[in-house]
Amino acid sequence: MDKRHELVLQVTDYSHQELAKAARYYDTVDKFPEEQMIHLFSLAILPSLYKNLNDLTYHDYLSVIRLVSKNFPALGSILLTQESHCVWPISTFGTTQQKERYLEKALHGEIYGCFALNEPITGSEIEEMKTVAHQTETGWVLSGNKDYISNSPIASVLLIAAKTIALDGTQGYAIFVIDKKTNGLKVGELEEKMGIKALPVASVQLDKVQLTDDNLLGGVVNGLPQIDSILNRNRLAVAAQSLGIAGGALDRGLKYVSYNRNLGKRLIDMASIQYKLADIETGIYSARSLLMQVINSRQEQDERMVAMTKLTASNLAIETTESIINMSGGYGYMRNNDIERFVRDAKITAIYGSSSDRLRSIIAKPWVNKKCKVKEE
Ligand SMILES: Cc1cc2nc3c(=O)[nH]c(=O)nc-3n(C[C@H](O)[C@H](O)[C@H](O)COP(=O)(O)OP(=O)(O)OC[C@H]3O[C@@H](n4cnc5c(N)ncnc54)[C@H](O)[C@@H]3O)c2cc1C
Ligand 1 midpoint to CA 154 (Å): 21
Q: What is the DSSP string of 115-144?
A: EE--BTTTBT-GGG---EEEE-SSSEEEEE
354 lines ligand 1 (CB under 6 A): yes
Reduced 3-state DSSP string for 336-366: CCCHHHHHHHHHHHHCCCCCHHHHHHHHHHH
Rounded to 10 degrees, what is the CA torsion of 182, 35, 31, 323? 120
Which of 162, 155, 211 is CA-nearest to residue 182?
A: 211
124 lines ligand 1 (CB under 6 A): yes
Q: Which residues have a Cβ under 8 Å from the Cβ of 111 and sit 6 or more positions away?
A: 102, 105, 155, 156, 157
Rounded to 10 degrees, what is the CA torsion of 252, 254, 260, 264? 180
Ligand 1 midpoint to CA 352 (Å): 6
357 lines ligand 1 (CB under 6 A): yes
User: Which residue's CA is the nearest one to ligand 1's atom 16?
Assistant: 352
Give me the tens of pLDDT residue by residue for the chain, a chain 377 residues long.
456 799 999 999 999 999 999 999 999 998 999 999 999 999 999 999 999 888 899 999 999 999 999 999 999 999 999 999 999 999 999 999 999 999 999 999 999 999 999 999 999 999 999 999 999 999 999 999 999 999 999 999 999 999 999 999 999 999 999 999 999 999 999 999 999 999 999 999 999 999 999 999 999 999 999 999 999 999 999 999 999 999 999 999 999 999 988 778 899 999 999 999 999 999 999 999 999 999 999 999 999 999 999 999 999 999 999 999 999 999 999 998 999 999 999 999 999 999 999 999 999 999 888 765 556 66
Ligand 1 midpoint to CA 142 (Å): 22
Ligand 1 midpoint to CA 200 (Å): 17
3-state secondary structure of 244: helix
Q: Are strands 140-150 and 185-187 parallel, antiparallel or unpaired?
A: unpaired
What value does the CA radius of gyration of the chain take, rounded to a whole number of Å? 22
User: Which residue's CA is the nearest one to ligand 1's atom 30?
Assistant: 123
Ligand 1 midpoint to CA 358 (Å): 9
Ligand 1 midpoint to CA 311 (Å): 14
Residue 234 identity (one-letter amino acid)? N
- Domains of the chain (ranges; CATH) run 6-112 (1.10.540.10), 113-222 (2.40.110.10), 225-366 (1.20.140.10)
Query: Any idea what DSSP says for residue 180?
Result: T
> Which atom of ligand 1 sits closest to the CA of residue 196?
1
20-45: burial string, b at 16+ Cβ within 10 Å, e else? bebbbebbeeeebbeebbebbbebbb
Ligand 1 midpoint to CA 146 (Å): 12
Query: Given this model, what pLDDT does residue 348 score?
Result: 98
3-state secondary structure of 187: strand
Q: How far is Cα of residue 256 from the mean position of the Cα atoms in its chain?
A: 29
> Which atom of ligand 1 sits closest to the CA of residue 191?
1
User: Which residue's CA is the nearest one to ligand 1's atom 41?
Assistant: 358
116 lines ligand 1 (CB under 6 A): yes
* Separation of alpha carbons 19 and 67, rounded Å: 10
Ligand 1 midpoint to CA 161 (Å): 15
115 lines ligand 1 (CB under 6 A): yes
* Separation of alpha carbons 97 and 214, rounded Å: 8
Query: Given this model, what pLDDT does residue 264 score?
Result: 81
Q: Is residue 225 classed exposed, middle or buried when 0-12, 13-18 and 19+ CB atoms within 10 A define those classes?
A: exposed
149 lines ligand 1 (CB under 6 A): yes
361 lines ligand 1 (CB under 6 A): yes
**In 212-274, where do the E strands start and end?**
none
Query: Given this model, what pLDDT does residue 53 score?
Result: 87
> Which atom of ligand 1 sits closest to the CA of residue 351?
20
Residue pair 122/241 in contact by the 8 Å Cβ criterion:
no
- If you count them, how many residues does the chain have? 377
Identify which of 78, 355, 356, 361 to mutate to test ligand 1's pocket (most ligand atoms within 8 A of the CB): 355
* Separation of alpha carbons 309 and 295, rounded Å: 11
* Separation of alpha carbons 68 and 243, rounded Å: 11
Ligand 1 midpoint to CA 122 (Å): 9
> Which atom of ligand 1 sits closest to the CA of residue 193?
1
